[in-house]
Structure 1
């Protein structure tokens, strides 16, 4: 049985991924978040719930102990510090596999007018997430960085991937698609190791997402 730890367990993508984890009898799930009361206990099955901040070294180290895969769905202006804390905790517990949600644009890989709009709209958010990604890339972890396009709540699984040095495709992707990709990586942990993967819905190219 594979044990997966979800960091930022109340996030929208995280909760969709958790639904997949809970339905899989071969997965044991641990949920880590700052405010455990935000979770609906009726929907967390028999998951272990841990309350804490990822920058709290002792709490995070205890949560990481004994897990096989860590899936980080984190956010915030201190995302680089969070990345450093996660790397340190995984190293301390000899856990290698990390799945990390980032954002598009961290390598200046988004082309044309959409890239210009994305950079202007996200601003320092891109800079912060690029710094966090570099922390992972400089580590010895078996990470996968996921760079989704602009997120929708569409009830669909439809996506294609690009790699770190590829030009980013499309403008949008559903959260459900990102969760599906996360689930597949948890189930096939040797896939996309030390890769940074762009995720988009096919045929959504444009100057900006359709709803803007």
Structure 2
């Protein structure tokens, strides 16, 4: 299998890269701006860096050659998401995992929902929603990951999932857990196709994350 990581210098992207390299024999295409100065290749026989912008169709299509599945580390731009979806559809690459945020469907209730809205803001939330709609209305098989507030904790890979239409529960989750979830999806892609999943840590149904 060959996987494309869009936004490969992001923290979750780096964790996914490490898991893929240590636990599988998959190949990786690492895509993003100024990557040569931001990441280092550990296995040149399995990793290729392509530097480019999300809106650069030619570079995206170059990166998509031979790819089976793509991970998009940031869905904050509807235009960039649209460009990626179009490049994938034209290249015949059918599976996209995208990192989005909680709250785009007004699915976060109570005190935590109010706190989250005040922190993220309606303008940013609408951008994330429009990007999600671009993916949902495409021909792709997709998994949209609606991530709660993120932090790092080595060894903590615990997560719980909620589906679109269900209330979101959980104020925080580790990036390590999200990276583990992404690798799980890669290895059981049919099970997760055409889903929008809320991702949080068990037993964190609080008014705000512990680190705020």
Same fold (TM over 0.5): yes
Match of 2:116 among 112, 115, 118: 118
Say if 2:100 and 2:132, in contact at 8 Å, map to a contact too.
yes
Deviation at 1:84, TM superposition (A): 0.3
Distance 2:7 2:198 in 1: 21
TM-score (norm 2): 0.95
User: What is the number of equivalent residue pairs in this alignment?
Assistant: 209
Q: How does 1:19-58 map to 2 (within 5 A)?
A: 19-43=18-42, 45-46=44-45, 47-58=47-58
Say if 1:22 and 1:45, in contact at 8 Å, map to a contact too.
no
Is 1:151 matched up with 2:163?
A: no
Instruction: Go from structure 1 to structure 2 and tell me whether the alpha carbon gap of 1:188 and 1:144 turns closer, same or farther (over 3 Å shift).
Output: same
TM-score (norm 1): 0.95
Q: How does 1:94-109 map to 2 (within 5 A)?
A: 94-109=92-107
Is 1:61 matched up with 2:79?
A: no
Distance 1:39 1:23 in 2: 20
List structure 1 segments (4+ residues) > 3 angstroms apart after TM superposition. Answer: 42-46
Q: How does 1:174-185 map to 2 (within 5 A)?
A: 174-185=174-185
**2:137 match:** 138
Deviation at 1:127, TM superposition (A): 1.2
Structure 1 unaligned segments of length 5 or more: list them. Answer: none
Is 1:11 matched up with 2:6?
A: no
Distance 1:41 1:120 in 2: 37
Structure 2 unaligned segments of length 5 or more: list them. Answer: none
**1:168 match:** 168
